[in-house]
Copies of this chain bind each other. A is one copy, B any other.
Amino acid sequence: MNILITNDDGIYADGIIELAKSISKIANVYVVAPESQRSATGHAITIHSPIMVHKIDMGENIKSYAISGTPADCVKVGIEGLFKDINIDLVLSGINNGSNLGTDVIYSGTVSAALEGFILNKPSIAISYDEVNVKREIYKDASKYVVNLVENIKDKLDLLNDCILNVNIPNTKIKGSKITKLGQRNYDNAMVEKINPFGQKYYWIGGKLMELDQDEDSDIACVKDGYISITPINIEMTNLRKFELLKDIKMI
């Protein structure tokens, strides 16, 4: 198999290094990742400036490039640029420093990179770990589950023809894995207002996660309960329920 690996924490993040090493034992690995931290960039792509590329040494058997773009750019540059002569079988994005659950996915560079793989007709999986700034060994252990998933799904990649998988690995003793739905996440007091040394007002987005009731089959409940969450998601965003109700809305 030829597997393209990317992330949003940047090419020097422990999560992508351990994932690439583990996956390189079962597949040819091609890495294209942002040259620096690009989390929360959503599905941004770079169209108003060039995207620079730099070859990086990530060890034997791993072809690796850092680029000046976003996570979604990495997948575009990998599939349509740097590795356009390779038949990429699967795109992996991660392992992310922190979970991407529920409403988070809309902001997540990790998930957006996998969705870009999907848009380019490649089976794609996003992987996140439900704790931030953990030791490198943790990602090594977590990568074993990703290897299991790849081995398990490699002969059934058609399952990913109308969705990606969004995987979140809990930071506890793991009981198993479950197929889940996106839950609801909201942040309280998200906007912090301050004054800089020059007397100018600025804002910094922060905020504390609110405890909301979750459906039992949601990704959030699943991870909390000690199971790896696997959520099939896609970009069919039309709300069909509203068609009939909206029919009297006119603009002319």
Contacts and interface: CB of A to CB of B under 8 A. Distances in A.
Contacts of A174: 252
Given A42-B44, A81-B193, A50 B202 contact: yes
A77 interface: yes
Nearest to A42: B43
Q: How many copies does the complex hold?
A: 2
Interface of A: 37, 39-48, 50-53, 67, 70, 72-73, 76-77, 80-81, 84, 103, 105-107, 112, 115, 119, 145-146, 148-149, 152-153, 156, 159, 162-163, 165, 167, 174, 176-177, 179, 181-182, 186, 190-191, 193-194, 196, 200-206, 228, 230-243, 245-247, 249-252
14 contacts: A50-B196, A50-B202, A52-B196, A52-B202, A81-B191, A149-B249, A153-B249, A176-B250, A177-B249, A179-B243, A179-B247, A182-B238, A230-B246, A233-B237
